[in-house]
């Protein structure tokens, strides 16, 4: 990832922060499987400790199994096309806020998905948890 010519390095704590936020928002869900990509940031001892602490099951696809990650790849395509492509961010913080707002406000709340039966992820989750 490049921002104004600087390389942004993905660090382990960002994955823990994202998981902590998801757990807080969903008020301690049960029977959850966390499916990640094979990147090193998802294999850290911090991540594994966090999964165990919250009784979550980690899942990682086998090398070369592209179908396991299809919905994540679709999400990143949408993120790049609808939010990032053609933009020039003055700082990492501005890019972080832009992506955060896209995911939290646009993607999860109103964008309809065929995998969710034409509902937004938020509508789908609310419907299935009711």
| Domain ranges, residue 40 | 1-60
Average pLDDT on 12-26 reads: 73
Q: What is the pLDDT of residues 60-115, one digit of tens each?
A: 666 656 566 677 778 888 889 999 989 999 998 999 899 989 988 888 788 888 87
Predicted pLDDT at 24:
78
Residues 101 and 115 in one domain: yes
Do residue 54 and residue 86 come from a single domain?
no
DSSP 19-52: HHHHHHHTTS-SS-EEEE-S-GGGSSHHHHHHHH
**In this predicted model, which residue has the larger pLDDT, 107 or 4?**
107
Q: CA-CA distance, 23 to 104, in Å (whole number)?
A: 15
Are 40 and 19 in the same domain?
yes
Banded model confidence at residue 14, pLDDT cuts 50, 70, 90: low
Please check the confidence at residue 125 and state whether its pLDDT lies above 50. yes
- Residue 54 shares a structural domain with residue 75: no
């Amino acid at each position: 990832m490049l921002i104004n010519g600087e390389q942004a390095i993905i660090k382990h704590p960002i994955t823990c922060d994202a998981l902590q936020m998801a757990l807080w928002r969903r008020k301690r869900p049960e029977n959850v499987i966390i499916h990640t990509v094979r990147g090193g940031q998802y294999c850290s001892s911090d991540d594994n400790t966090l999964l165990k602490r919250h009784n979550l099951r980690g899942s990682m696809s086998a090398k070369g199994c592209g179908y396991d990650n299809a919905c994540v790849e679709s999400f990143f395509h949408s993120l790049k096309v609808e939010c990032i492509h053609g933009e020039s961010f003055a700082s990492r913080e501005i890019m972080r806020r832009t992506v955060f707002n896209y995911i939290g406000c646009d993607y999860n709340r109103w964008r309809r998905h065929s995998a969710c039966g034409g509902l937004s992820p938020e509508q789908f989750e609310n419907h299935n948890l009711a």
